[in-house]
Amino acid sequence: MNEVFQAHYHNRFPLPRRIERLGELAYNLWWTWNPEAVRLYMRIDPLLWERTYHNPIKFLRQVERAKINAATLNRYYLENYDRVLSEFDSYMQRKDTWFAQTYPQWVYRPIAYFSMEFGLHETLPIYAGGLGVLSGDHLKEASDLGLPMVAVGFFYTEGYFTQRITEDGWQEAEYTHQVFDDLPVLPVLDEEEKPITVSVELPGREVQVRLWEVHVGRIPLYLLDANVEANSVTDRTLTARLYSGDLEMRIAQELLLGIGGVRALRVLGYNPSVWHMNEGHSAFLVLERLREYIEAGKSFEEAKEIVKASNVFTTHTPVPAGNDEFPLWLIEKYLAPIWTQLGITREEFIELGRHTTPWGEMFSMPVLGLKLSEGRNAVSELHGQVARKMWHFLWPDLEVDEVPITHITNGVHLSTWLARRMRYLFDEYLGEDWIERHDDFELWEKVMEIPDEKLWEVHRHLKRKLAYYIRERARWMWARGNVHPVQVIASGVLLDPYALTIGFARRFAPYKRANLLLHDPDRLLRIVTRADMPVQIIFAGKSHPDHEGGKLIIQEIYRFLKRSEVAGRMVFLEEYDVNLARYLVQGVDVWLNTPRRPNEASGTSGMKAALNGVLNCSVYDGWWREGYNGQNGWAIGQDVDYDDPQRQDEEDARSLYDLLEQEIVPLYYRRRSSDELPGDWLYMMKDAMRTIVPQFVMRRMVKEYLDRLYIPILSPKKKVIET
Ligand SMILES: *Cc1c(COP(=O)(O)O)cnc(C)c1O
């Protein structure tokens, strides 16, 4: 991208010279995971910072000149400014990154990463849930470690949706049009400053896609956008929304991502050595790569071997119905020209993605990805077992255990999710360079040395911060008008900042069983409303707007928590996003997760909680089956599979109530007589951090992807034996 043009964007804010680089910093998401950089904006005008929802571009455009001037006269501010920008410069210019030191021979071999969603920051609503947050965290850590990665995704002009809950608990979706000019995205332009576009054939027309660039530290993320004049009105909406329920829209989107994405990288001059597909949505990229080799004179079989040898496919979905697949008529309609270009028959083409289901023959995106990738992985140990069973039909000659799908358990990006105050506490007790070594188990032993009163002080600060934030949100809601007073109570105004607080926040997919707690309403009410040991439960999460099942669960919970017997101790917060997620995973006492095993492939929100000393109470599923060691939190139910989901729900609910009544609540309220602190609880917090953090940080995960999937591709001779 043209640097002069970029500078034009960076410098378009009316900033005094002394702090003009705030404009440049706004265009690199590095600031989002560096708390001192966040404060460079926030300190100038905290209220405006909230009002612009932490968007530095809007902020700099609106901030009053007098406030800017005050900052330039504040020596303390300027010192921080200089320190942060020099850190930024040395981060961006560093040649001796971990990757460059460890794998100097591979620094010029790009790794392409494709995902349908990226959860990077609240200002960029191009994600729906955990999959997107994982992609976002992956890029941030790849940047920190210095991987030569380049990423491809979509710019959704209407983002995901804004969630409103009616008085009766029904979720309503509102869509807002995103304004590029307000966001940290830059148009990708050619020499003549014209937008660079690529085109993709869809039935009867060519669709043009333009490109936007987001800087994620050192990693460029290119976002495809079909909203260009050359396209028909309908095609312009192809990239408007995430996960359309319309299959035809969906297949068109996925063609844009896979095929358009490869073409975009080519136009930009990339020749990736590794191609990582995060889930099946981008699997059509293999078709474009095959076509490239066939056009260059290779046979289909040769092309297939070459393409496969450099692909990595990650599966996230443990249920066949949750997988992305298309009926064959749709494949015929959209892909017939492609199999001609590949020089193969319809049958041979269908075979690449064939999935025989009870509802007929389908073309499955994960099947395409799995068949055409050398590296294949699931996202937790249990999910690995489930995936090997589920995809066994692709390797019928092998035993289930030998199905070549390994697992790499997910992780979370530490600097994104760790509370600032907790970070300072670690600075004090883990040693100066702790953040450089944060995936080192030994380092975390030092957590045990943090004095109880200091940890408790930080934790109480974070709880207060959450409670005040919730109250402010309830106030805005009330001020917005058109809400019933009971909705203000349901939004958390009666929360006590010091009572035991449980958080449950995630997408409201039915398998997540947000309503498991409501299994025995009377027992729940008794737990929540004990006057001497009250329990508060905070729910948040969106249901996909087309899924009635999820919306009904929200309604069931909302109707329950409005009841006066609940006494305002259970609340539902609208509009769950990464901002609210940060408040919650940092500011509750217990993080609850109740998926119907084995449907939670991994889950990551509990890892974010653990970083902050929040204790997990979760079903033996996904990552928690590996994280739980018998004493660093609580496991609901047993480490077994069930045939009867009803019995499973019943037993899990009973186990959850037992844990709450007999262990969690008494432990929290038990105070040491010497200093009135909950000593046993604090010990458990430290023990959880010590045992969980180094294992479930994104750094461990990215290194594992490198060692086990990327490096064997870069260096075929050093093939690592799969475990
Ligand atoms: C981390 C995160 C998720 C994933 O949560 P799970 O409990 O792992 O499903 C979803 N949404 C947001 C906004 C998140 O930050």
pLDDT digits (tens, 9 = 90+) for 391-409: 999 999 999 999 999 999 9
- What sign does the dihedral 240-246-252-255 (CA atoms) show? positive
The response to whether residue 260 sits with its C-beta less than 6 Å from ligand 1 reads no
Q: How far is the CA of 540 from the centre of ligand 1 (A)?
A: 10
The response to whether residue 492 sits with its C-beta less than 6 Å from ligand 1 reads no
715 secondary structure, DSSP code: S
| pLDDT above 80: residue 104 | yes
Spatial contact of 225 and 155, defined as CB atoms under 8 Å apart: yes
Which ligand 1 atom minimizes the distance to the CA of 128?
Answer: 11
Mean of the pLDDT values across residues 115-127? Answer: 97
The response to whether residue 678 sits with its C-beta less than 6 Å from ligand 1 reads no
- A 10 A CB-CB count for 393 gives 12
Residue owning the nearest CA to atom 2 of ligand 1: 130
The response to whether residue 133 sits with its C-beta less than 6 Å from ligand 1 reads yes
Mutate to test the pocket of ligand 1, among 604, 614, 625, 696 (most ligand atoms within 8 A of CB): 604
| pLDDT above 50: residue 720 | no
Q: CA distances (Å), 221 to each of 99, 136, 216, 217, in order? A: 19, 10, 7, 10
The response to whether residue 506 sits with its C-beta less than 6 Å from ligand 1 reads yes
pLDDT digits (tens, 9 = 90+) for 41-55: 999 999 999 999 999
The response to whether residue 595 sits with its C-beta less than 6 Å from ligand 1 reads no
Q: How far is the CA of 316 from the centre of ligand 1 (A)?
A: 14
What residues contact residue 607 under an 8 Å CB cut-off, 6+ apart? 410, 411, 412, 417, 623, 627, 692, 696, 697
Q: What are residue 525's phi and psi, to 5 degrees?
A: -60, -40
The response to whether residue 134 sits with its C-beta less than 6 Å from ligand 1 reads no
Which ligand 1 atom minimizes the distance to the CA of 577?
Answer: 13
Mean of the pLDDT values across residues 134-148? Answer: 98
Rg (CA), the chain: 25
- A 10 A CB-CB count for 673 gives 6
Q: Do domains 105-410+703-714 and 440-696 have the same CATH topology?
A: yes
The response to whether residue 132 sits with its C-beta less than 6 Å from ligand 1 reads no
Residue owning the nearest CA to atom 8 of ligand 1: 603
The pLDDT assigned to 71 comes to 97
Going by pLDDT thresholds of 50, 70 and 90, the confidence category of residue 63 is: very high
| Helix and strand counts by DSSP (H, E) for the chain | 32, 21
| pLDDT above 70: residue 719 | no
pLDDT digits (tens, 9 = 90+) for 408-422: 999 999 999 999 999
Spatial contact of 668 and 678, defined as CB atoms under 8 Å apart: yes
Going by pLDDT thresholds of 50, 70 and 90, the confidence category of residue 465 is: very high
Question: Domain 105-410+703-714 belongs to what architecture?
Answer: 3-Layer(aba) Sandwich (3.40)
Stated as kind and residue range, the H or E segment containing 197 is strand 197-202
User: What is the spatial distance between Cα 657 and Cα 646, in angstroms, rounded to a whole number?
Assistant: 17
Q: What are residue 159's phi and psi, to 5 degrees?
A: 60, -160
Q: Which of 8-22, 138-152, 513-527 has the lowest mean pLDDT?
A: 8-22
| pLDDT above 50: residue 723 | no
Q: How far is the CA of 634 from the centre of ligand 1 (A)?
A: 20
Characterize 529-552 residue by residue with b for buried, 16 or more Cβ atoms within 10 angstroms of its Cβ, and e for exposed: eeeeebbbbbbbbbbbbebeebbb
Which ligand 1 atom minimizes the distance to the CA of 622?
Answer: 8
Give me the residue spans of the domains in the chain.
3-93, 105-410+703-714, 440-696
| pLDDT above 80: residue 322 | no
Express as a percent the part of the chain with pLDDT over 70: 98
The pLDDT assigned to 717 comes to 66
| pLDDT above 90: residue 272 | yes
The strand pair at 590-593 and 570-573 is best described as unpaired
Supply the DSSP string of 2-33, one letter for each residue: -HHHHHHHHT-S---GGGTTHHHHHTBGGGGG
Express as a percent the part of the chain with pLDDT over 90: 93
User: What is the spatial distance between Cα 501 and Cα 470, in angstroms, rounded to a whole number?
Assistant: 13
Q: CA distances (Å), 527 to each of 48, 498, 661, 689, in order? A: 40, 16, 7, 27
The response to whether residue 577 sits with its C-beta less than 6 Å from ligand 1 reads yes
The pLDDT assigned to 6 comes to 78
Supply the DSSP string of 123-157, one letter for each residue: T-----SHHHHHHHHHHHHHHHHT--EEEEEE--T
Supply the DSSP string of 660-704, one letter for each residue: IIIIIHHHHH---TTT---HHHHHHHHHHHHHHHHHHBHHHHHHH
- Which candidate, 335, 346, 327, 362, places its Cα nearest to that of 203? 335
Single pTM value for the model: 0.97
The response to whether residue 125 sits with its C-beta less than 6 Å from ligand 1 reads no
The response to whether residue 542 sits with its C-beta less than 6 Å from ligand 1 reads no
The pLDDT assigned to 409 comes to 98
User: What is the spatial distance between Cα 113 and Cα 282, in angstroms, rounded to a whole number?
Assistant: 10
Q: How far is the CA of 236 from the centre of ligand 1 (A)?
A: 30
- What sign does the dihedral 131-135-138-144 (CA atoms) show? negative
Q: Which fold has domain 440-696?
A: Rossmann fold (3.40.50)
Q: How far is the CA of 18 from the centre of ligand 1 (A)?
A: 39
Supply the DSSP string of 693-707, one letter for each residue: HHHHBHHHHHHHHII
- Length of the chain (residues): 723
User: What is the spatial distance between Cα 680 and Cα 245, in angstroms, rounded to a whole number?
Assistant: 48
The strand pair at 354-357 and 360-364 is best described as antiparallel
Which ligand 1 atom minimizes the distance to the CA of 576?
Answer: 13
Q: How far is the CA of 402 from the centre of ligand 1 (A)?
A: 31
- Which candidate, 392, 397, 402, 340, places its Cα nearest to that of 367? 392
Mean of the pLDDT values across residues 311-321? Answer: 89
Chain centroid offset of residue 80 CA? 30
Compute the mean pLDDT over every residue in the chain, rounded to the nearest whole number: 96
Mutate to test the pocket of ligand 1, among 131, 584, 605 (most ligand atoms within 8 A of CB): 605
The response to whether residue 272 sits with its C-beta less than 6 Å from ligand 1 reads no
- Which candidate, 211, 219, 224, places its Cα nearest to that of 255? 224
Cis peptide bond prior to 598, omega within 30° of 0: yes
The response to whether residue 576 sits with its C-beta less than 6 Å from ligand 1 reads yes
User: What is the spatial distance between Cα 82 and Cα 198, in angstroms, rounded to a whole number?
Assistant: 41
Which ligand 1 atom minimizes the distance to the CA of 130?
Answer: 4
The pLDDT assigned to 722 comes to 43
Going by pLDDT thresholds of 50, 70 and 90, the confidence category of residue 2 is: low
Characterize 320-353 residue by residue with b for buried, 16 or more Cβ atoms within 10 angstroms of its Cβ, and e for exposed: eeebbbbebebbeebbeebbeebebeeeebbebb
Q: How far is the CA of 520 from the centre of ligand 1 (A)?
A: 26
Q: How far is the CA of 31 from the centre of ligand 1 (A)?
A: 21
